[in-house]
Structure 1
């Protein structure tokens, strides 16, 4: 909403009126009763947002999100999946990731150890550079696993061929 207000240049005095006009259903009923309790006169945008967040984003939910972002780990997710969940939580609870360095470090802490060690060594300072490095390392690790599997299959194939030749020679004797 703030983005829209900035775009169409709504004054602070009018923001509450516009926002309350857009409320529907239960939120509209909530605002009518809250408005009556707040008394006569205009309600500032700051006060409106405080009241709105108090109602629809209570402390217990904020605490839950804080815990979730602090405990978020990549686990079995791909870097892309982990990054999407991290972004969602960071948007909802920006307190722990309010600076670029905090965001980068917090994301880095949740990475799988084998990816995190590579990223940490690079000493990156921005979130996007940490994400990109993690993606590159993950991709390289997948490629290494594939190559190792290909070598093993090739080695097994050579061993199988040698065994077949040996069996053939025994049979011919």
Structure 2
């Protein structure tokens, strides 16, 4: 919704109306009953979001996603697979990744130890640069492994 509002340049006072118009089925019924309790009150976008998130993204779910983010480790994922999961969960816990430095640091901390030690030698400029460097390190190791396996077979 936020992206749509930005594109259409919707003013704050109209956002709740536009968002509620797009609700369907159960969420539409929920909104109609919620609105009845707020009769006469002007419903701001902030209030709408608060009510919506309370209903569809309650704090216990937020807590579960935070725990999943904090428990996330690369383990047997490739760097690319790990980055997808990291990005997917990071959007729910902005306090841990609200700067480039925090995001890059957290990503690096739970990489496989051999990748982490290699990228630790490099300056961590941005999250994107760190991910790219980790992928390069991983790719180089895989190439080296294939090369050494090929030499063993020839012997």
| Pairing 1:9-24 to 2, within 5 Å after superposition | 9-24=9-24
More deviation in 135-144 or 121-130? 121-130
Match of 1:38 in 2: 38
Shift of 1:41: 3.1
Q: CA RMSD in A?
A: 1.0
- State yes or no: 1:143 paired with 2:143: yes
| Pairing 1:115-134 to 2, within 5 Å after superposition | 115-134=115-134
Provide the secondary structure at the position in 2 that maps to 1:134: helix
Shift of 1:66: 0.7
Shift of 1:2: 1.0
Gap regions ≥5 residues in structure 2: none
Shift of 1:109: 1.2
TM-score of the aligned structures, taking structure 1 as reference length: 0.86
Shift of 1:38: 1.7
Match of 1:70 in 2: 70
Match of 2:4 in 1: 4
Number of matched pairs:
155
Shift of 1:118: 0.6
Pick the structure with greater CA Rg.
Answer: 1
Shift of 1:90: 1.2
Select the structure that is richer in helix. Answer: 1
Q: After the TM superposition, list the runs of 4 or more consecutive aligned residues in structure 1 that deviate by more than 4 angstroms.
A: none
